[in-house]
Chain A
Amino acid sequence: MKTTTILISTALLAAPVVAVAQRDVPPSPGTPKSFRLAAPRTFQLANGMRVTLTPFGTTPKAHVRLVLRAGALNEGARETWLSGLAGDMLVEGTTTRSASQLAEDFASMGGSLFAFAGADETSVGAEVLAERAGDAVALIADAAQHPAFPAASFERARETRLRQLAIALSQPQPIALSTFRQAMYGDHPYARLYPTEAQLKGYTLEQTRGFWARNSGAQRAHLYVAGVFDAAAVEQAVRRTFDGWARGPAPLVKPPAPVSRRQLQLVDRPKAVQSTIAMGLPVLAPSNRDWIGLNVTNALLGGSFGSRITSNIREDKGYTYSPFSQVSARVQDAYWMESADVSAEHTGASLQEILREVDRLRTSPPTPQELRGIQNYAAGIFTIQNSSRSGIVSQLQFANLHGLGSAYLTSYVDNVMKVTPTDVQRVTQRYIDPAKMTIVVVGDSATVAPQLQPFGAAVP
């Protein structure tokens, strides 16, 4: 049994205030309050499954989430979306409960069962009224361990996926992201966001059931409960319904070797009034000591409303509405990416300004004042992310997936505050190199192709 305490400091340093002659100056912030979350309690069952219970808040609801190390990573080259299809089937009933019964049971708890697969994990859970948390644990256990995989539901689920696939690929943002991932990850499963239609049509019930059977089990599972609940009752429900689960396989470890060089791809979208840009490159994994420095750098560069890239291409130039940069992580892997939908006629200018902002940060460090504002922002966002049941679970889930240990969360704010202007410049130089970026543009080729010439030879 392991007990950790998450202590989040909101002791941000006072933000700089820009004083201009003849203007009133904003009143200075008061004294920060400290923020101590109730301690999460983690324990392990004999079969290897881990459980983390976190009391939080006063709203009489509980978030219950079973996280399994099974996702796109576990799919073969011709199995894209098989993990998603398996997740779809978990809501279609168990060996003792029909889909309708399962839906009604969850509804009577004030919740609805969710089951979805990501790159590394599948999450199965529900958010229910407080007094029903233990019942929800039992139902989730049933859905994960004894799914029925009814044939009729499978046909429909596959048809639904075919429709979702067609709709996703009619939108420029999914096209841009999947092209970006493909260009960077090559043969690794992280490259494959969408199957072909023919591939999806070929998936069978047995294949899907087989995927779940091969990839689920206690050893790969971590159950999280956060919110208002009776801890003793929940623990009892966990032991009663999960103790008998087979250990199953150990998590698969298969880190990618992403491409890190300038590549330019233009995907033609005839007559598109905007170009959708996805550009970036592989960076470091979350366990690296520069991880927090990189995240602070990202917030300053493009990851916040007041960031440099957003200030430039939105608030100065008006080229776009929602530009955004992010650091996106998978197991032993992450990339930095800027995405933006820009007016077609400003595609080249937007790329130029984005790269110019990257170069500017590589050339000179930010002022201590600019950095201080971003550190406060990053620390504040972290507190806000820890201010909801699902947010707390997601933070714990992230730390566990990447093996960061409990200190990651408790010392996060302190580490954010330790980042220096020189760190930001160094991290940008080391990890965000324009020469190594993959640039994907989805747009009207006739308008856009000439604008892309300065950025490399475009592969259609």
Chain B
Amino acid sequence: MPHRRWTIALLMLAASATSAGAQAAPTAPLQIPIDYRTLSNGLRVVLSRDTTTPTVAVATYYNIGFRIEPRDRTGFAHLFEHMMFQGSRNLGKMEFIKLVQSNGGILNGSTRFDFTNYYQVVPSHVLETMLWAEADRMKGLAIDSTNLINQQGVVKNEVKVNVLNQPYGGFPWIDMPMAANTNWHNAHNFYGELKDLDAATLEDVEKFFRTYYAPNNAALVVVGDFDPAATWQWIERYFAGIPAVPQPAKPDISEPRQEKERRKSRMSERAPRPALAVGYHLPERYTPDWYAFGLIDQLLGQGRDSWFYQELVQKRALTGDVSASPNDLGNYYNYDGPMLWTVSVFHDSDVTAESIVSAMDSRIAELQSRPVDAATLERARVKLRSAFYSTLEGLNGFGKADLLACFALFEDDPALINRLMDGFAKVTPEQVQRTAREYLRPTNRTIVQVLPGAQAAAAGVPSQGN
């Protein structure tokens, strides 16, 4: 990411449920307008109008994330993202950035498991300029070794500020995928080893661009206050001539069913307190189990009414807060492969990890032993719906563009955004119980700990199995 690591806040979707005890009728569910076309070169384009403010969000997504970066180049997908800001055919270094900012807009890029994205939020009247600029860098980069060396320095500093000079750096967002997954694509250090970052060459950059940064491997989304006819014309004009490139077969990124609990711990000299995370592999997306798990996340992990907060904080005072996330680098929707639900806490040294895990287990057992009562499930649905609205609005319309881009890219179906609620509405207490039994098995979980102390004591010798 060129600037600061952004993370979309919580997310999830819910049904058009009546809220328990509501005094007023709930507003009808949002219907998001969608105009979806695929250009002749394979570029998937979604337009969605929203005239709340005279701004537009332009999001360009490439179907390349850090899961499938080259094996001897950990962190390369992310390093490459930085190179996209270093100059293209008609815009030299810093010119893209200045073009956006000097027109009153903001921009950023980020690299995630299954995509790399670039976006701008600008005043509406600058839309054509942005489309031209984004097309320019899809056509080709114009960078040299000075740019590469500069960004290797920047990215190494990014890893230092976010990981190496931090007491808990990488907890749990790098630690957990590395510990819980077995397939290299999901289990490597995607931020990158410093030596791999140093090893990157201009040739690597060119090859990566040629292979993955093709229109038929991308989606373009415009959300906001724009004129549809003019916008389609601009998109045709600037993007339609970019040639498609045959894509390599996607590697197998699947994870086998986990059959045995995993444990991993590391020492951190700078950490003053222990940190604990428990991760569970999630159900496959859009299955009935997956919809049920979305509600389980709300019920067990989100907010002060959640069962984990009530048990761990209010009742047992084992910690001060419980954080649960169905995707540590995004939300429940913007990924395309195996994913983990991660619950994490910071606690004092006189509280054992076992006492925390057992407190969580006591509430999981409740969910597994009998169908959850209707009012509690309904409250989970209300929370889900409200959080979903906030997800859509995130960053002035960019949150909506993010989901539309992912659904276009991964499902060829951006209209899914308007149907998700139906899936959550259908979840029954029995479905929740079945899903909890299969996915909240102790054998489906991984426990990761960061412990205060000198690294020599435990570095590189994670205890495996249980």
B193 within 8 Å of A (CB atoms):
no
Find residues 319-347 in chain B having any chain A CB closer than 8 Å to their own CB.
Answer: 319-321, 346-347
- Smallest CB–CB gap between A160 and chain B, Å? 3
Contact B121 A384 (CB under 8 A): yes
The answer to whether B101 and A166 have CB atoms under 8 Å apart is: no
Tell whether, in the assembled complex, residue B4 and residue A322 are in contact, meaning their CB atoms are under 8 Å apart. Answer: yes
Task: State whether the Cβ of B383 lies closer than 8 Å to any Cβ in chain A.
Answer: yes
A383 engages B55 (CB within 8 Å): yes
A318:B157 contact, CB within 8 angstroms: yes
Residue from the list A10, A318, A386 in contact with B151, Cβ < 8 A: A318
A383 to B25, CA, bound (A): 33
Nearest Cβ on chain B to A66's Cβ, whole angstroms: 18
* Binary CB contact string for chain A from 154 to 170 against chain B (1 if under 8 A, 0 otherwise): 01110111011011011
Interface hit among A17-25, A325-333, A449-457: A17-25
In the bound assembly, the distance between CA atoms of A153 and B55 in angstroms comes to 45
Contact, CB under 8 Å: A166 / B393 = no
Please pick, from B25, B153, B272, B385, the residue contacting A319 in the complex, using a CB distance under 8 A. B153
- Cβ of A367 within 8 Å of any chain B Cβ, yes or no, is no
Contact (Cβ within 8 A) A103 B392: no
Across the interface, name the chain B residue whose C-beta is closest to A31.
Answer: B125
| Chain B stretch 69-109: residues in CB contact (< 8 A) with chain A | 89-95, 97-99, 101-107
Check if B431 is an interface residue, CB within 8 A of chain A: no
Assess the B154–A157 pair: CB atoms within 8 A: no
A interface residues, tally (CB under 8 Å)? 100
Q: Do residues B93 and A315 form an inter-chain contact, with CB atoms below 8 A?
A: yes
Does A273 have its Cβ within 8 Å of any Cβ on chain B? yes
In which size bucket is the chain B interface?
35 or more
User: In the bound complex, do residue B153 and residue A318 qualify as a contact, i.e. CB atoms below 8 Å apart?
Assistant: yes
Residue from B92, B98, B165, B225 in contact with A373 in the complex, judged by beta carbons closer than 8 Å: B98
8 Å CB interface, B121-150 against A = 121-129, 132-133, 136, 149-150
- Is B386 interfacial (CB-CB < 8 Å)? yes
Q: Per-residue CB proximity of A33-57 to B under 8 Å, as 1/0?
A: 1110000000000000000000011
Cβ-defined contact, B55 with A387, below 8 A = yes
Hey, which chain A residues are within 8 Å of B2, CB to CB?
Answer: 305
Given the contacts A10-B104, A60-B389, A341-B161, A110 and B19 also touching, CB distance less than 8 Å: yes
Shortest A250–chain B CB gap in Å is 33
Sort A-B residue pairs by CB-CB distance and give the 5 closest, nearest first: A380-B104, A318-B153, A110-B386, A160-B320, A373-B102
Q: List 21 A-B contacts (CB under 8 A).
A: A99-B314, A103-B310, A109-B382, A110-B387, A131-B24, A134-B23, A159-B348, A163-B348, A167-B168, A230-B24, A233-B24, A274-B157, A274-B160, A305-B3, A306-B101, A317-B150, A322-B161, A341-B161, A380-B122, A384-B106, A387-B53
- A interface vs B, CB < 8 Å? 10, 12, 15-18, 20, 23-35, 56-61, 91, 99-100, 103-104, 106-113, 127-132, 134-135, 152-153, 155-157, 159-161, 163-164, 166-167, 169-172, 228, 230, 233, 269, 272-274, 276, 304-306, 311, 314-322, 341-343, 372-374, 376-377, 379-381, 383-384, 386-388
The interface of chain B, by Cβ under 8 A from chain A, is 2-4, 19-27, 30, 50, 52-55, 89-95, 97-99, 101-107, 121-129, 132-133, 136, 149-158, 160-161, 164-168, 225, 270-273, 303-305, 309-310, 313-314, 317, 319-321, 346-348, 379, 382-383, 385-387, 389-390, 392-393, 396
